[in-house]
Amino acid sequence: MLKKAIVAGGAVALLSSLAVGVPLASYTRCGVSWLRDSASDAVPLEWELKRARQMISDLKPEITDNAKRIAYEKIEVARLEKQLNETESRLASAQSDIQRLTTDLEGGDKYFTYAGRTYTSVQVKDDLKNRFKRFKTRRATADKLQQMLTARQSTLTAAQHRMEEMLSAKRQLEVEVENLQARLGALRVAQTASELSLDDSHLSQTRRLLDEIETRIDVEEETMSVDAEYFGEINLEDSGDEDLLDDIANYFDAEREQPKALVAIQLD
Closest by CA to 66, choosing from 133, 151, 163, 171, is 163
Kindly report which listed range (16-20, 135-139, 178-182, 232-236) carries the lowest average pLDDT score: 16-20
pLDDT digits (tens, 9 = 90+) for 211-265: 888 888 888 877 777 665 555 555 555 555 556 667 777 777 766 665 554 444 4
- The alpha carbon of 69 is separated from its chain's Cα centroid by a whole number of angstroms, namely 31
- 260 φψ region: left (φ > 0), alpha (ψ -120 to 50), beta (else): alpha
Over 70: is that where the pLDDT of 176 sits?
yes
Over 50: is that where the pLDDT of 180 sits?
yes
Give, rounded to a whole angstrom, the gap between the first and last alpha carbons of the chain.
138
Over 80: is that where the pLDDT of 193 sits?
no
> Looking at residues 126-153, what average pLDDT do you find?
95
Q: Cβ atoms within 10 A of the Cβ of 155, count?
A: 15
Could you give all domains of the chain from N- to C-terminal order, each with its CATH number?
A: 44-191 (1.10.287.1490)
Reported pTM: 0.51
User: What pLDDT, on the 0 to 100 scale, is given for residue 43?
Assistant: 81
User: What pLDDT, on the 0 to 100 scale, is given for residue 218?
Assistant: 82
Closest by CA to 52, choosing from 173, 183, 165, is 173
Q: How far apart are CA 245 and CA 190, in angstroms?
A: 87
pLDDT digits (tens, 9 = 90+) for 47-104: 999 999 999 999 999 999 999 999 999 999 999 999 999 999 999 999 999 999 999 9
> Looking at residues 166-182, what average pLDDT do you find?
93
Integer-rounded Cα radius of gyration of the chain: 61
User: What pLDDT, on the 0 to 100 scale, is given for residue 255?
Assistant: 63
Q: Three-class SS of residue 116?
A: coil
**Top-ranked range on mean pLDDT: pick from 105-109, 127-131, 210-214, 229-233:** 127-131
Cα dihedral 68, 74, 78, 84 sign: positive
Over 80: is that where the pLDDT of 39 sits?
no
Over 70: is that where the pLDDT of 32 sits?
no
User: What pLDDT, on the 0 to 100 scale, is given for residue 146?
Assistant: 95
**What does pLDDT average to over the chain?**
79
Kindly report which listed range (10-24, 76-90, 98-112) carries the lowest average pLDDT score: 10-24
Query: What's the length of the chain?
Result: 268
3-state secondary structure 232-254: CCCCCCCCCHHHHHHHHHHHHHH
Q: How far apart are CA 120 and CA 100, in angstroms?
A: 15
Q: How far apart are CA 220 and CA 226, in angstroms?
A: 10
User: What pLDDT, on the 0 to 100 scale, is given for residue 230?
Assistant: 56
Cβ within 8 Å of residue 180, ≥6 positions away: 49, 52
